[in-house]
Amino acid sequence: MAKREISEINAGSMADIAFLLLIFFLVTTTMDTDTGLIRKLPPPPEEEIEQIDVKQRNIFEVLVNANDQLLAEGEYIQVTELRKKAKEFIKGDKNNPEMPEFAVEEVPVFGTMEVSKQIISLQNDNGTSYEMYIKVQNELIGAYNELRNELAREKFGKTYDELVAQSESSETIENQMQAIKAIYPQRISEAEPKKIGGSN
């Protein structure tokens, strides 16, 4: 057979196709990055339980029962109303004897300042659904986050989230973040759940 000239198939676009497929898979396969509400559990109780007296006015009581009904400060409310109520409580009012007391504390950047002694007490039932529990947690965390953001924007012109994101690069921002945190410390105390109302 005589030798014939053979023209090669143009493979120039093969790489493009390969990259196209690669990008397609990269985009469509969702990497399972976990997101959630990060909380800190209290350390285990020691043998002698210290009785700490907290005045009733400093506590914002949140109860959730087995039917996923919510009681905040003795008032039956919906989850969507909880954030506003919690914000009012955390922010406090110096002239209102119903609202939490203020204590003078040392705060970075601002120096001595009056800080509210607020505590949020959350108690749920063993029969409460996890979905409801997360909703309540979310609203309480959201109340703190919103207040922190408002304060940070007022004082430093940035939201608290931005301060947190930039805190590693600069010490001033780190201090500013700590100051906001000291004014609105997240105090969510979880009581042992009740065992009434049917568990599983």
Partner 1 sequence: MSKFRKKGGKGQPAISTAALPDIVFMLLFFFMVTTTMRETTLKVKVVTPKATEVEKLERKSLVSYIYIGEPIKALQAAFGTAPRIQLNDAFATKEDLFQFVEMEKDKRDEAERNMITWSLKVDQDTKMGIVTDVKQELRKVQALKINYSTKKTDKILD
Q: Which residues bind partner 1 (CB under 8 A)?
A: 1, 4-11, 14-15, 17-19, 21-22, 25-26, 29, 31-44, 78-80, 124-131, 133-135, 137-139, 141-142, 145, 192-193, 195, 199-200
Which amino acid, residue 63? L
Cβ 131 to partner 1 shortest distance, Å:
4
Cβ 157 to partner 1 shortest distance, Å:
23
Cβ 78 to partner 1 shortest distance, Å:
5
Q: Measured between alpha carbons, how far is 11 from 76 in angstroms, rounded to an integer?
A: 71
Output 17 or 104, the one with its CB closest to partner 1: 17
Cβ 16 to partner 1 shortest distance, Å:
9
Q: How far is CA 130 from CA 39, 116, 137, 138, in A?
A: 15, 30, 10, 12
151: nearest Cα among 192, 90, 105? 90
Helix axes 79-91, 130-156, angle to 10 degrees: 40
Output 77 or 109, the one with its CB closest to partner 1: 77
User: In this structure, what token pair is assigned to residue 76?
Assistant: 């039956």
